[in-house]
Structure 1
Amino acid sequence: MTRACDLARAFADMVRHQRGYLLLEWIRQAEQDAPKPMKGFAGFLRQDLDAVTAGLTLPWSSGVVEGHVNRVKTLKRAMYGRASFELLRTRILGNGPSDSRTRLTDHHRGEESMSPLPAVTGRDEFDALVVRTDYLDDQAWQDVAAALMEPWGDRPYEADVHFIDDLAWSGATVDEVLTAVRGDDNLAVVFLADRTTMQAESHPLLAVTTLTREECMDDEDYAQLTEFGRHFRTIPARLHEVHANLSIGNLGFEEFAAWAHDDPEGIFRSF
């Protein structure tokens, strides 16, 4: 088991840093002393060695396509058994990216500022998006960020987070944040580190769905998908599970919101 974990970490590092030149040596090591399932995996890689090496070396990938596939799966799952193909087509093709600029309230001056929120750039499609909207307690924020970067899951997995830590987002509301990120078609949920996050002992972040009324069949459909609201709170240790499951359409936002609703404090803590 230890050997399998070492090889898995080495493979993950190779993928993450595009070190395709190490692939053949990794295959040899796996075929030599890895557990049987991993030996089989190495054998499959060897059968298509040139293509896999290129995928681990070149800057191009099918990631964007896979992101759109995940988005389609999420939409399909939300509508399963309740709508038609025509509606699915409308939800997928009907809404183009919107202007990501918005007005931001300057709480220090108590008046409205015309400065737009900065564009969200550099987020990998697999990164969870965490927006800091409260800037009164730097130590609390550092604690939140550290908790979010802890490995997660049973394996465990490395935490992939895109942080927005910019005073321009101070005091931004849920609707303002949603407007700013709406152009990201691969984003199913955005997490806010607000005042409640900083003050509460468990540092629960606000998980907000990016689903809009326009993407739904009608008011009833939207009401069903947001039965427990457009947002719920989750402890940092569960943020990655929420993000991962929503990104691949494995679970719906309303399911996580229901679990949070059942918690005495209204926080998602576990399945």
Structure 2
Amino acid sequence: MKDKIWVEKISFRDFLASWINEFYNQQNPDEHFLTLPKISDIMAVSILAFIKSRNFSDFKFIELGAGDGELSEALIKHSRKFSMKISEAYLVEASSSRINRLKRKFHSYDVKFNVSGEIPFLKDDLPTIVIANEFFDSLPFSVVFYSTKQRILKELFILRSSDGELFPLFDQLLPETKDFVEKYYNEEIKLIESVYYSDDIFFFEVCPAFEYVLNKVKNSSILILCDYGYRFFEERRPQGSVNLHWKFSAEKIDFFDLRKLAEIINSSFGKKDISFFVDFFVLEKI
């Protein structure tokens, strides 16, 4: 560490954006998403039955994180069995290569498909159903820790040396992270200080992008979220809940040991998928 020349310091959240982009460039994501099994017709039928129960027979839908388009394809196929009309579909995907594949896949469908990297503006001409299956846990997030002894919050950053080596360290919160934590985690920090947790250090993940996404789709008629996560903060453990995925294996990241964390980051960057458990209680607050 002493002999290293550090040329860059970025937040872990910004670092994750480049990690995920590199993963999409190097790998075929469909081979690695352990938490995203192939969408079955049963899921599509269940979603359509739920929509039908709300008396929507003519609607449009937005799928966030559309992947290979399998769920959208199944929704179109089975909608006819429910005598439902899907007038328009919007598929949102971050990967440019996936966007191109989705455009080719749906270009000849009767339903008008719009494929983009941006969440569209929601017009109120028809009921809009927003579906986010394994989407929120793929957004770039920050890792913060709270010390019950010092009563301070710190955020994870990544140092990059002149020879390309990466090393993690914790430092003061960025303004955006600080605002998000103060807005949605005040009661949870009090909980960390209570009898629930005896550890000095408590790690947890925060994702300011939650606000942006939910504000973009707040006028939807129905919002369907499917993700791994926590209904209550009390379900969390002090070591955090960040996981690496590779083929059919998963590895939990330990933030207590920075040297081990550095080894994992340097060996896994762009080669493995990375995700976290979503705090559903925060989504409800937003």
TM-score scaled to structure 2, two decimals?
A: 0.29
TM-score scaled to structure 1, two decimals?
A: 0.31
